Amino acid sequence: MTLDPIVITLIEAVVKTIVVIVALLTAFAYLTLVERYVIAKIQSRIGPNRVGAIGGIALLQPIADAIKMIFKEDFWPSQADKIIYTIAPGIAVGTALLAWAVMPLHPSTEIFGYRVDFFIADVNIGVLYLLAIGSLGVYGIVLGGWGSNNKYSMLGALRSTAQMISYEVSLGLALVGVLMISGSLSLVTIVEKQSFIWNVVWQPLGFIIYFIAAVAEVNRLPFDLPEAETELVAGYQTEYSSLKFALFYMAEYINMITVSAIAATMFLGGYQGPFGILPGVHWLVLKIMFFIFVMMWMRGTLPRFRYDQLMRFGWQVLLPLALANIFITALVMLVVGA
């Protein structure tokens, strides 16, 4: 039996999409446990060690959390904008998942004489696509804050809009250096070009700027002003409970995975091993885990910025540095002759 090539492509895309989504959702569930455990260790506490514990770590805790979340009361603020209040968490999760459509996960290999590419799509505007999808992520937060009709939510939403727009500029500009070296916007090409030397060697400044801006973009400490619990209760998600809250939570963790994956792909060679050793998806996972651990470590260690400090840092330090990085990269490429 022979199948139409279009049908095969379609089936392949659907299978890959499902696999990626399931993997992300599982990773999200266990990241919540890892985060609680890591933070507990940093703060000299014990951490979750009851539900299905093996070796002192509660391995079934995510499932217990999920069940608890589902059976909580789904609360509706009386004056909330019903439609916007409902779609906001969906937008947040949707935009968080969409970025994975262009992420290269593993080198292309032959399986049973059939060539399999381990990415959903290789578009020649890959990096632009990532930035575009990333810039849409603000909508979920803004609409959630607006739809709840709560002053704390509203303030959190306004803050996060200003913060994410400000740091998005530095985030995008930090990637430009990599694009100049690689001469391509396709993530697959960018990863292939790093088979021996990773981009971070040529772009250390860009890498640092990207990581700082990325932490701000996913609203993690020390940039978690939108949900600063000591002043805004929980920011834009104050009124959310039950499954809608879980969706916001999920979006936040998937965004963490996504920005880590982008950092790994753009600067640390994605699925490429150091000096070309055994390229494969395990390297990508390791690098993502490393970045996520650093983010948790920062959460356990650093205090929160004040809002004016945050804005000043973004516009007066990060942005000029990102521009200087582009300028220096261009200058060096001109002198060396690329």
Partner 1 sequence: MESIPFYFLAALAVLAALGVVVMRDPVYSALALAVVLTALAGLYVLLSAPFLAAAQVMIYAGAILILFVFVIMLLSPGREGDAPRGALKWQRPLAVIFGGALVAQLALVLLMTILPTGRGLYTPEYLAQIGSTQAVGAALFTDYLLPFEITSLLLLVAMVGVIVLAKKKS
What does the buried/exposed string (b/e) look like for 208-226 if buried means 16 or more CB atoms within 10 Å of the residue's CB?
bbbbbbbbbbbbbbbbbbb
Strand partners, 111: 114
Give the one residue of 24, 38, 80, 154 binding partner 1; rule: CB under 8 A: 154
Q: How many CB atoms lie within 10 A of CB 171?
A: 25
Cα–Cα nearest to 233, from 147, 141, 153, 149 = 153
Give the one residue of 42, 59, 66, 162 binding partner 1; rule: CB under 8 A: 162
- Tell whether residue 136 is a contact of partner 1 (CB under 8 A): yes
Q: Are 117 and 9 in contact (CB under 8 A)?
A: no
Alpha carbons within 13 A on the beta-carbon side of 87: 6
The burial class, CB within 10 Å (0-12 / 13-18 / 19+), for 206 is buried
Q: Are 47 and 41 in contact (CB under 8 A)?
A: yes
Q: Give the position of tokens 């704390």.
A: 152
Q: Which range binds partner 1 by CB under 8 A, 162-170, 237-245, 275-283, 293-301?
A: 162-170
Site for partner 1 in 303-332 (CB under 8 A): none
- Tell whether residue 124 is a contact of partner 1 (CB under 8 A): yes
Which CB, 34 or 84, lies closer to partner 1?
84
- Tell whether residue 128 is a contact of partner 1 (CB under 8 A): yes
Cα 66 versus chain centre, distance: 21
Any residues with CB less than 8 A from the CB of 223 and at least 6 apart, and which? 163, 167, 215, 216, 304, 305, 310
Site for partner 1 in 104-123 (CB under 8 A): 123
- Tell whether residue 191 is a contact of partner 1 (CB under 8 A): no
Give the one residue of 100, 129, 207, 223 binding partner 1; rule: CB under 8 A: 129
Site for partner 1 in 34-93 (CB under 8 A): 81, 84
- Tell whether residue 12 is a contact of partner 1 (CB under 8 A): no
Q: Which range binds partner 1 by CB under 8 A, 23-31, 45-53, 138-146, 326-334?
A: 138-146
Which CB, 188 or 246, lies closer to partner 1?
188
Least distance to partner 1, CB of residue 82, Å:
12
CA distance linking residue 124 with residue 135, whole number of Å? 19
Cα 206–Cα 211–Cα 215 angle in degrees, nearest 5: 150
Determine the size of the site formed for partner 1 (CB under 8 A): 27
- Tell whether residue 236 is a contact of partner 1 (CB under 8 A): no
| Residue 335 identity (one-letter amino acid) | V
- Tell whether residue 102 is a contact of partner 1 (CB under 8 A): no
Least distance to partner 1, CB of residue 94, Å:
12
Give the one residue of 17, 86, 135, 241 binding partner 1; rule: CB under 8 A: 135
Which CB, 25 or 179, lies closer to partner 1?
179
Which residues contribute to the site for partner 1 (CB under 8 A)? Answer: 81, 84, 123-125, 128-129, 131-136, 138-139, 142-143, 145-146, 154, 157-158, 161-162, 165, 168, 185
